[in-house]
């Protein structure tokens, strides 16, 4: 099939859960290392990397060899059984976490599922249901993940799981309050404080700031902008102030909140 035929077939047969940024979206046929080729044979330098998931290049021979090896040995069993690769990976990841502090892992098939798990774990642990998400965030395509997503284009059907509020991000590059740090007096943190006071029960299960690094906020994968307040009150301290167990939640829930 040509690229055009594939695009038409996709429109006809696939669920319209994903919207495109482009009028003529790329139809990717194959890829190698840093390059992808479309269905019509055009070559592209890939700055996207599968949305930052193909970090060692496309069709990496080392990765592929291990995948083939595993497929030939054991392809699939139910999660109720123990398998060596799963345990070995959990051990390996544990050894890479800061100070070996994180020692429980749940492997998922997607970012959406990871976020669902993080929210559920946080709610169970905190004994609270309220989740503070950030405006303009993207967290996935399930009901709960869409509910914490803060972009209308990604909230199909106006989804809304209960217990989710959206706060402004601490995003100095395009400050939602049109202020400049440090003269802003951390208006974003104060706004978060007010949102928690007025729109939640006062106990927070999770603060949704996916894909961050400790002490520096990455706004999803779209931007890396340092969070203000390292030398003063920050969103972290505010959440802790509102929730005695916030520190413990952060320990089991690194995706959604950081110390």
What part of residues 143-172 is at the interface with ligand PLP (CB under 6 A)?
none
Rounded CA gap, 148 and 50, in Å? Answer: 23
Looking at the Cβ atoms of 108 and 201, the one nearer to ligand PLP is: 108
Looking at the Cβ atoms of 49 and 176, the one nearer to ligand PLP is: 49
- In angstroms, what is the minimal distance from the CB of 102 to ligand PLP? 19
- In angstroms, what is the minimal distance from the CB of 40 to ligand PLP? 26
Q: Please give the radius of gyration of the chain, using alpha carbons only, rounded to the nearest integer.
A: 21
Looking at the Cβ atoms of 39 and 211, the one nearer to ligand PLP is: 211
Answer for the pair 147, 159: CB distance below 8 angstroms, yes or no.
yes
Rounded CA gap, 119 and 162, in Å? Answer: 12
What part of residues 195-224 is at the interface with ligand PLP (CB under 6 A)?
210-211, 220-221
- Let me know how many helices (H) and strands (E) the chain has, helices first: 9, 8
Among 112, 120, 191, 195, binds ligand PLP (CB under 6 A): 112
Please state, in angstroms and as integers, the Cα–Cα distance from residue 122 to each residue in 96, 161, 249, following that order: 22, 15, 6
- In angstroms, what is the minimal distance from the CB of 142 to ligand PLP? 8
136: left (phi over 0), alpha (psi -120 to 50) or beta: left
**Binding mask of the shown chain, residues 41 to 80, with x at each position contacting ligand PLP by CB under 6 A:** ----------x-----------------------------
φ/ψ (deg, to 5) at 43: -100, 140
Binding site residues, ligand PLP, CB under 6 A: 51, 110-112, 115, 138-140, 210-211, 220-221
């Amino acid at each position: 099939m040509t690229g055009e035929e594939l695009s038409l077939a996709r429109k006809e047969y696939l669920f319209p859960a994903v919207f495109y940024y482009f009028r003529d979206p790329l139809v990717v046929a194959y890829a190698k290392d840093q390059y992808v080729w479309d269905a019509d044979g055009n070559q592209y330098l890939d700055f996207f990397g599968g949305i930052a998931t193909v970090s060692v290049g496309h069709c990496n021979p080392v990765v592929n060899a291990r995948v083939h090896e595993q497929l030939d040995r054991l392809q699939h069993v139910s999660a109720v059984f123990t398998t060596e690769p799963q345990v070995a990976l959990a051990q390996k990841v544990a050894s890479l976490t800061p100070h070996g502090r994180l020692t429980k892992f749940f492997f998922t098939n997607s970012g959406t599922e990871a976020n669902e798990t993080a929210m559920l774990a946080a709610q169970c642990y905190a004994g609270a249901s309220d989740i503070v998400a950030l405006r303009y965030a993207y967290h996935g395509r399930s009901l709960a993940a869409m509910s914490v997503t803060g972009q209308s284009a990604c909230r199909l059907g106006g989804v809304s799981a209960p217990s989710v509020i959206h706060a402004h991000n601490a995003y100095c590059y395009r400050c939602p309050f049109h202020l400049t740090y440090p003269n802003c007096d951390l208006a974003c943190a104060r706004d978060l404080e007010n949102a928690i006071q007025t729109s939640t029960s006062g106990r927070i299960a999770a603060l949704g700031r996916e894909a961050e690094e400790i002490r520096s906020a990455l706004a999803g994968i779209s931007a890396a902008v340092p969070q203000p307040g390292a030398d003063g009150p920050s969103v972290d301290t505010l959440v802790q102030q509102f929730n005695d167990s916030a520190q413990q939640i952060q320990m089991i829930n690194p995706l959604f909140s950081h110390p």
